[in-house]
Structure 1
Amino acid sequence: MDGGIPSGSVRVKPVALWLLLSLAKLWLAARLPAFGDEAFYIQEGRRLAWAYSDLPGLTAWLTRLGQEIFGQGLFAARLPFFLLGALLPWQLWRISARWFGPEVADRAALLAMLMPLGGLMGVLALPDVPLLVAGLLCVDGLAAMMAGRRGAGATALAAGLVLGALAHYRFAAFLAAGLAGLLLAPAGRRLLREPRLWLALAAGALAWWPLLRWNLDHAGAGLGFQFVDRHPWTWHAEGLVWPLIQAVLLTPLLFAALLGTLVEAWRRRREGAAWPFLFGAGAMATLGWFLLGFFADSDRVSFHWPLAGWLLACCAAPVLLWRWRRPWRRLCLGMAAAGSLALLAYLAVLADPDGRRALAGSPAYADNFSGWSEVAEATRRRLQAMPTGTRLVADNFMLGAQLSLALGRDDVLVLEHPLNAKHGRAPQLRHWGLLAEHRPGGSVLVVLEDTARPGKHRLRAYRALCEWAGSLDSPEVLNVDHGRKRFLLFALPAPERGGCVLPAMADLESPRPGQQLESAFEVAGWAIKPGAGVARVEVLLDGEPVAEAIYGHARPDVLDYWGLLRDGADTGVGLRARVEAGNRSGAAWLSLRVHGRDGSVEELPAMPVRFAR
């Protein structure tokens, strides 16, 4: 044992923190809306298979297991992940105790729980939870084997390898990290002559077969997405912000302590088995992602990928951290605790509809948690007014999965959408027969997530929908959280009816978002409604009409931008208005309401402004 901790130190007991954290995580799991990807994993769980286009089968199986044991619903689907997440600190405790003794292990578990991302693992039904459990189980097995417990260690290693292969493609990086640690440690190299190690590796290798078989049957679609399509594989500078992002997520002093632990592991790499293994595996699982970040996907969330490496570093971090001067050590632990509390508070805000709405004007708005219950309720209400047997078609895979979860139906079709390919879900939808390449017959309700596309691509999307549907009437508009999430509901008419009326589009060019206004101010912008035309435009403050815009100013530049400028076209799409806001002060939301010549009324997304006090 090599604790490196003064004998007079106070031993920290992590059990109380674990209990409090577990209660908080249970509350969040019961209250948070479904995260975008969660709904799709639950949808996969209703169609059990060995593997899917985006992942191996384990995540889907766990969501199904939760619902089979604990009842239907999102909370039940999350419970297996909560239970696995609750194991993580004790897995670290076991590894750390084996290498450095129980006192260091107590503090290692404490650090893991104070780490904002590590402590809150298990709130959501995401594959990272079983992935981390599998990775730590492998480390525990290897540590036991290097300590001489070959049989028990090989069993744990085999179990971890199988779980990891069934959890995520990214487990391949865990294998590379484990191999680096094994080769750096003399005791690890000696294990290469141990038959039980190779038996465990063989069991782990067999667990990849379902995923490989799926790829063989689908022209390598999953492998192509995970390792080719989603990555540019050219150098880009976004990797330079990786240390800053990690320092913020871990909190700065804990980030420094964990990096210092890797440096300490390098310095003591010739001592025993723990230090060289920790350096090899920990550095590969953290700094390896840093190097990869200069070449790999920077469009999707990847800040959590090094978490396994940071958790592994926690096993030895107390050896270094408890040498710090007491004020610095307390500051480090305090900052980590504050970071975890801040993340808990943020998630608590997201669990409340009013909280999500309050964040609508800020970068902290969580798009993937927002709007789903509102659009499900609007869809349910609209379907009740339509003929029995109406087919439901969603704009993209995420909306389709959310509607499927909320409405309890497995027949939600999904349109072709860039998000389907971007997230690797298009092959799976096609395999299920849920990709709506052609309009189904009879009555159809199409739900479009308008804000899932950049504004510059929306007119093209409307035209594609018109071509798919054959005809369109003006939609029912649902603005959630001041329009940060916006949905359009189209009840399609009979196929033989021709012509399309597209949704209204508008922009306020003045004032701009966040601008401070006086009680009287000028509004300028434009509005169009292809297929019907604009009758009039109202200016709204906090959803209430405050002015009628003068509509009809010539704006050929607007029509030219949208490809609508033709010989003889009416270019009078500009608008102006003077608004008298009275005694308003503080924050407000400014928007437009467009009245079409077909009688439609569509409110556009609002933007935040402020009034001088």
Structure 2
Amino acid sequence: MRDKDETGALRDLPIERVFWSLWSLVLLLKLAVAAKLPLFVDEAFYWQEGRHPAAAYSDLPGLTAWLARIGVELGGNHTLALRAPFLLIAALVPWLLARITAREFGERQGWIAGCFAILLPLSGTLGVLALPDAMMALATLLCLDAGARLLREVDARTAVELAAGLALGALSHYRFIAVIAVGFVVLLLLPEGRRALRDVRLIIAVAIGASAWAPLVAWNMDNADAGLRFQLVDRHPWSFHLDGLWFIAIQALLVTPALLLALALAGARGARAVSPVTRYFGLLGSLVVLGFFVLGFFADTERVSFHWPLPGFLALLPLLPGVLVAWPGWARVLTVAWAGATLLAMLGYYVAVSIPGLRAHSAGEKWYPSNFAGWDELARAVRARQRAMPPGTRIVADNFKVGAELGFALDDPRIAVLDHPINHKHGRAPQLQLWGLHSAGRGDWGVTPVLLVVGVTEVEYKNLLQRYHALCAMAGPLPPPQILNVDHGRQRFALFAFDGTTRAGECTTPAMAWVDAPVAGAKVGREFEVNGWAFKDGVGLARVEIMLDGRVVAQAGYGADRPGIREYWALPDGKYSSDPQHPKIGFSAKIALDAEPPGRHWLGLRLHGRDGSVEDWAEQPIEVKRR
């Protein structure tokens, strides 16, 4: 029989059936996306951690890696199997939230809150990637449920549930400390909470939860607090910056303005409510969200952080139906539709990332998904190059991203990695050291043939020449590279085949270049001029060819004076670019198009080194005008 009370936009629908239909549809969509979506770099590293079982790691407690290992052990070494445990955990979140809400506020409100747990884009997309947030969300709800129960009565079941939630959160991420700290403060603010905190069963539950931090504490004690220092000190500037406004704006975009407003009202009203449980939900959710909003003005802005406030939003969702019931019908419909559209847009983004043609089309955009892109193409190129090299050739990566992604693709968790700034920036350098996978370079390789795989675009262009010279210092003069340009070179790799013999001489690097005109995105006529500069340290360039859409369209004149370029490329040892042809490194060419249609085309360079190397430079988009 249908419940006819007036509690939401879906008041005339059998809401339980709506929930399960929505739950099934979104789960099927997520399964389809997860099966096709290329592996994200963090997922690859968690897979690698899972292949090196431990209680804790440099970047995280152990649970995420253990789940990743379970997935591939049961389902094989492919992305859907890796993500399957996380999809399963994420599928429990809306159901558990619905049960919590139904117990406290009624069955219908429970199903409505559960529907919004699915539609809220931050929670609706959980599990698509094998990341710790799915388990953190489940742990948050277990603690939330236990907290609501203990405000009425502390019993063995509640204590066990709280202990489980605290332990799962502790084994998931350092960030769960925020949920614990705010939850403790909220209990202290409530008379019922203070009473419960004196109960010995609750004290035992808290002690069990605290013990789950022991592996992480032990790891940090054994490794000079490297993980703790990275999470709480090294990655954050801890000085005020206005980028926090962007953090708030992104939350409004991802949560959707209508839903964010409704959740804010739910938190404000809940915090002033008479009911202890309602106040508990309102205070916990509001303080977690506001805390992360404030943190956004002082914390790390270089890495993804938009998912941080999710535990707070989950705590506010049980109060949401009580806010929406007072809204006019059109506002409720708008809230549902906007949230659903944003969820589909986020899943659609993952679909676009999975389609090579669409991803390549975005190569000229700021939102290009570099952490998803190029790994399959790189694995194919590495396999092909391996077959052409002597048996026993070792693969060495120049950074942890390449090492982990290649490791997953080749089912080899023991790929050694050179020292690289991003290994330290992402807190992975200590773990590579512990695994014995940090390679110092040629001194470690001996006479073994090595295929060195370098992620060129992992370094800012202004620092790229310096990185090449650092590679020379570690590996000796670099042989002619095989360049792999993915998505017009937006993702770019260099493969160096060392045959095991000692190479002598000056550092020889891949070529460096820049197109001064036309600039990226420029509109050009059927005839236009291309000019810029290019050089190759150690040997120099023999010639430069102009390419359009992957084919050569002109031979450039090379050797024009470009004073000041050499001095710009200063190295830490006080030296400069060592191309012997400086300053005669400029090029220019006149292009006359014939059959090319108007619209977007990709302009590139082919650089011929004096050592016989041939390197295709990254392409940039131009717009060819109609006649």
TM tier relative to shorter chain: over 0.9
1:471 CA displacement: 2.3
**Residue 530 of structure 1: SS of its match in structure 2?**
coil
Task: Detail structure 1 runs of 4+ shifted over 4 Å in the superposition.
Answer: 565-569
Q: Is the aligned partner of 1:63 residue 2:65?
A: no
Aligned residues of 1:471 and 1:493 also touching (Cα < 8 A)? no
CA distance in 2 between counterparts of 1:120 and 1:587 reads 33
Change (3 A) 1:568 1:352: closer
Letter in 2 for 1:214: W
- Residue in structure 2 matched with residue 5 of structure 1 by the alignment: 7
Change (3 A) 1:486 1:111: same
Letter in 1 for 2:171: L
1:184 CA displacement: 3.0
Aligned residues of 2:97 and 2:110 also touching (Cα < 8 A)? yes
Q: Deviation string for 1:187-211 (max 9, x for gaps)?
A: 2222112211111100001111010
Letter in 1 for 2:51: R
Quick one: which of 390, 396, 403 aligns to 1:387?
390
Letter in 2 for 1:41: Y
1:322 CA displacement: 2.2
CA distance in 2 between counterparts of 1:206 and 1:28 reads 37
Aligned residues of 2:143 and 2:161 also touching (Cα < 8 A)? yes
Q: Is the aligned partner of 1:578 residue 2:580?
A: no
Q: Is the aligned partner of 1:506 residue 2:513?
A: yes
CA distance in 1 between counterparts of 2:182 and 2:64 reads 23
CA distance in 1 between counterparts of 2:9 and 2:81 reads 45
- Residue in structure 2 matched with residue 469 of structure 1 by the alignment: 475
Aligned residues of 2:538 and 2:579 also touching (Cα < 8 A)? no
**Residue 437 of structure 2: SS of its match in structure 1?**
coil
Aligned residues of 1:45 and 1:61 also touching (Cα < 8 A)? yes
Aligned residues of 1:470 and 1:495 also touching (Cα < 8 A)? no
Quick one: which of 534, 541, 549 aligns to 1:534?
541
- Residue in structure 1 matched with residue 329 of structure 2 by the alignment: 326
Q: Deviation string for 1:478-531 (max 9, x for gaps)?
A: 000000100000001444320232101100011111111111111110000111
Q: Deviation string for 1:451-476 (max 9, x for gaps)?
A: 00000111111111111112221100
1:180 CA displacement: 2.8
1:567 CA displacement: 12
Change (3 A) 1:533 1:367: same
Q: Is the aligned partner of 1:555 residue 2:568?
A: no
1:350 CA displacement: 1.2
Aligned residues of 1:471 and 1:495 also touching (Cα < 8 A)? no
Letter in 2 for 1:10: D
Q: Which moved more, 1:109-118 or 1:479-488?
A: 109-118
1:329 CA displacement: 1.1
Change (3 A) 1:297 1:406: same
- Residue in structure 1 matched with residue 45 of structure 2 by the alignment: 40
Q: Deviation string for 1:61-119 (max 9, x for gaps)?
A: 00111122223322212111010000010121122112211111111111111111211
CA distance in 1 between counterparts of 2:425 and 2:38 reads 23
Letter in 2 for 1:560: E
Letter in 2 for 1:455: Y
**Residue 61 of structure 2: SS of its match in structure 1?**
coil
Q: Which moved more, 1:208-217 or 1:187-196?
A: 187-196
- Residue in structure 2 matched with residue 165 of structure 1 by the alignment: 170
CA distance in 1 between counterparts of 2:218 and 2:582 reads 58
1:4 CA displacement: 8.5
Q: Is the aligned partner of 1:593 residue 2:609?
A: no
Q: Which moved more, 1:185-194 or 1:435-444?
A: 185-194
CA distance in 2 between counterparts of 1:383 and 1:8 reads 59
Question: How does 1:165-204 map onto structure 2 within 5 Å?
Answer: 165-204=170-209
**Residue 14 of structure 1: SS of its match in structure 2?**
helix
Question: How does 1:34-183 map onto structure 2 within 5 Å?
Answer: 34-148=39-153, 150-183=155-188
Aligned residues of 1:349 and 1:356 also touching (Cα < 8 A)? yes
Change (3 A) 1:314 1:467: same
Letter in 2 for 1:577: A
CA distance in 2 between counterparts of 1:531 and 1:7 reads 69
1:293 CA displacement: 1.2
Letter in 2 for 1:467: A
- TM-score calculated relative to the size of structure 1: 0.97
Q: Deviation string for 1:252-311 (max 9, x for gaps)?
A: 11111111111211332xx11222112221112101001111111111111110011112
Quick one: which of 488, 491, 504 aligns to 1:485?
491
**Residue 356 of structure 1: SS of its match in structure 2?**
helix
Instruction: Provide the identity percentage.
Output: 48
Q: Which moved more, 1:569-578 or 1:443-452?
A: 569-578
1:568 CA displacement: 8.8
Change (3 A) 1:8 1:239: closer
1:382 CA displacement: 0.6
Letter in 1 for 2:625: A
CA distance in 1 between counterparts of 2:257 and 2:174 reads 30
1:604 CA displacement: 0.7
- Residue in structure 1 matched with residue 573 of structure 2 by the alignment: none
**Residue 564 of structure 2: SS of its match in structure 1?**
helix
- Residue in structure 2 matched with residue 279 of structure 1 by the alignment: 282
Change (3 A) 1:567 1:43: closer
- Residue in structure 1 matched with residue 348 of structure 2 by the alignment: 345
Letter in 1 for 2:604: S
Aligned residues of 1:85 and 1:129 also touching (Cα < 8 A)? yes
**Residue 204 of structure 2: SS of its match in structure 1?**
helix
Question: How does 1:235-254 map onto structure 2 within 5 Å?
Answer: 235-254=240-259
Change (3 A) 1:565 1:188: closer
Aligned residues of 2:117 and 2:314 also touching (Cα < 8 A)? yes
**Residue 488 of structure 1: SS of its match in structure 2?**
strand
1:363 CA displacement: 2.4
Consecutive unaligned residues of structure 1, counting only runs of 5 or more, are: none
Aligned residues of 2:272 and 2:279 also touching (Cα < 8 A)? no
- Residue in structure 1 matched with residue 423 of structure 2 by the alignment: 420
Aligned residues of 1:181 and 1:278 also touching (Cα < 8 A)? no
**Residue 174 of structure 2: SS of its match in structure 1?**
coil
Change (3 A) 1:27 1:283: same
Consecutive unaligned residues of structure 2, counting only runs of 5 or more, are: 571-575
**Residue 359 of structure 2: SS of its match in structure 1?**
helix
**Residue 623 of structure 2: SS of its match in structure 1?**
strand
Q: Deviation string for 1:148-169 (max 9, x for gaps)?
A: 3622111111101111111111
Question: How does 1:197-346 map onto structure 2 within 5 Å?
Answer: 197-268=202-273, 271-346=274-349
Q: Is the aligned partner of 1:399 residue 2:402?
A: yes
CA distance in 1 between counterparts of 2:581 and 2:34 reads 55
The RMSD of aligned alpha carbons is 1.7
Q: Deviation string for 1:348-374 (max 9, x for gaps)?
A: 111222222122122232111100011
Aligned residues of 2:8 and 2:332 also touching (Cα < 8 A)? no
- TM-score calculated relative to the size of structure 2: 0.94
1:378 CA displacement: 0.5
Aligned residues of 1:39 and 1:402 also touching (Cα < 8 A)? yes
CA distance in 2 between counterparts of 1:320 and 1:209 reads 41
Change (3 A) 1:321 1:545: same
Change (3 A) 1:495 1:6: closer
Q: Is the aligned partner of 1:364 residue 2:379?
A: no
Q: Deviation string for 1:42-78 (max 9, x for gaps)?
A: 0000110000000010001001111222233222121
Q: Which moved more, 1:16-25 or 1:97-106?
A: 97-106
Q: Which moved more, 1:350-359 or 1:546-555?
A: 350-359
Letter in 1 for 2:527: A
1:431 CA displacement: 0.4
